[in-house]
Structure 1
Amino acid sequence: MNDLAAFSPGRILVAGDIMLDRYWFGEVNRISPEAPVPIVRVQRTEERLGGAANVARNAASLGANVGLLGVVGDDEAGRLIEGKLAELDIGNFLQRDSMISTIVKLRVIGRQQQLLRIDFESPPGQVVLREKLMNFNALLPEYSIIVMSDYAKGSLVNVAEMIATATRLGKRTLVDPKGDDFSRYAGATLLTPNKAEFRQVVGAWRDESEFVEKAQRLRVQLRLEALLVTRSEEGMTLITGDKTMHFPTQAREVFDVSGAGDTVMATMAVMLSAGKTLPEAVQWANKAGGIVVGKLGTATVTREELFA
């Protein structure tokens, strides 16, 4: 599988909910006298790109030319994100909304275990969303693969229009969906729900044949080229018009699943931009997911790790 020398990914535009992942690492040696909770003595802090920005970060780590489109607040967290994009040479197409705060997820880690997560978020306003849509339309001709990373935080309220416009221009659109209504993603090239998200939309299944039947029905209903269901320890299943392919998990040791879906989506986009077929792209994405869950927090996979 070592194709590193000949590997040449294309240009990828990532649009969606942009976040800053903050980590506070510390020691836990006693319980608070005020409440039955551990006291964490913070020793170091770290900030990482999260949400759609983590998808862009993963794609850049694999050597793709990446642009990132989304909304941040006019605040310290937003400026940190912009700085990290510059460090990674990711195209910065962020819209600033002075009326909101940048989405921040703060995780408190003690003894390498997550003890608490605190979320700060507010949806972007209509004016900045209209500006983002105009920017998206202007950027489309420059990219071959469009990734839409939906965390249901408000940045992709126009996703149906975005997919329709990208499709008219012959772009392949990959969507990481959210919610119990996937109709707004109709016409996309590929949808990548996890098992829980898929069940929320189609209901439970009794066996594998019913799972495939429900998946194929959803694919046809939404006019998708393919549907990729990520199934945790069960691996991944790719459903296309003429076949169903299952890929067993390649995780050797699961340490942290945070951001694993971002890594899978980014790897799919990078491989498709490099000319791989859908099954080939899933094979590589499955391997990348198996690597990243062995790392702490929203991590990335390097080209060297993937092609080892």
Structure 2
Amino acid sequence: MAAHPTFPDSADPSHFEWQYLALMRRVWDEGSERVDRTGVGTRSLFGAELRFDLAEGRIPLLTTKRVYWKTAAREFLWFLTGDTNIRALCAQGVEIWTDWPLAHYRRETGEDISRKDFSARIVADAEFAARWGDLGPVYGKQWVNWPIYEPAGDGLFRQRPQGVNQVADLVRSLRENPGSRRHIVEGWNVAELDRMALPPCHKSYQFHVDGRRLSCLLYQRSCDVALGLPFNLFGAALFTRMLAQQCDLEPGELVWMGGDVHLYRNHAALVHEQLNRLPAGSPRLELARRPDSIFAYGIEDFVVTGYAPQAAIAAPVAV
């Protein structure tokens, strides 16, 4: 059962962010202690749901701490390119994927290089980036180039140069058959999980058209409530807004569903600080132009207004 927060006299109980804070409190107070792959340990619940209205430009950007939405948008645009190397991200100052290749490099070479120096070398040296910066067939690779194999004779198979572009197919499906129940983008390719630096957490996106309203349901198999979820909510809402614009629809609702929903034990300071803050404000997202393709958006096309968050809260990433 979802937690029902008590609202201070100065709070707006209808603010979208209270459901996020209620989930955070519930996980921290009621979650079971679990040993996870990182060794840090979590407090975890299984199964949760959040819902956000995306009409009239609304966007679920948390206000009780600063969410670096441009970083989240750059990551999402990178997914749409199908790239799996961190070089393009590092060149934009986006470091959210650097820890995995960095940990691999340190293990393999024994060199205790700093993240700053590692990223700088990734950007400056293409050969170094090719060897040490690739994440394997993560998100974008599955979204726009899901591999297809065809018979090559003598019982052998070869991979086609271009696989399934799920995002392009989704746009086409939304335009041509809006009533379909197959508007899905899937990242969980079981044949390639062992080659990924991190198997997809926000793994399944399903879209639904009701009249002219486009809604999204995101299923997330594993959810870091403190650090990951704020980015995932913004990314899913951004995806929905882009699709709606490309398909002449209006944004409807974002429904988020989590499987293993957890907080890391070393995030106690973040949790206590954030739960003592009050949400306020009503962030809006404007798309400054309509590109010819969903793959042609740039960071300059996204304009966020009405966003005056409280200070960022730092916390370590568990790798």
* Greater RCO (Cα-Cα under 8 Å, separation 6 or more): 2
Q: State the TM bucket, normalised to the shorter chain.
A: under 0.3
**TM-score scaled to structure 1, two decimals?**
0.25
Q: TM-score, normalised by structure 2?
A: 0.24
- Which has the larger strand fraction? 1
Larger radius of gyration: 2
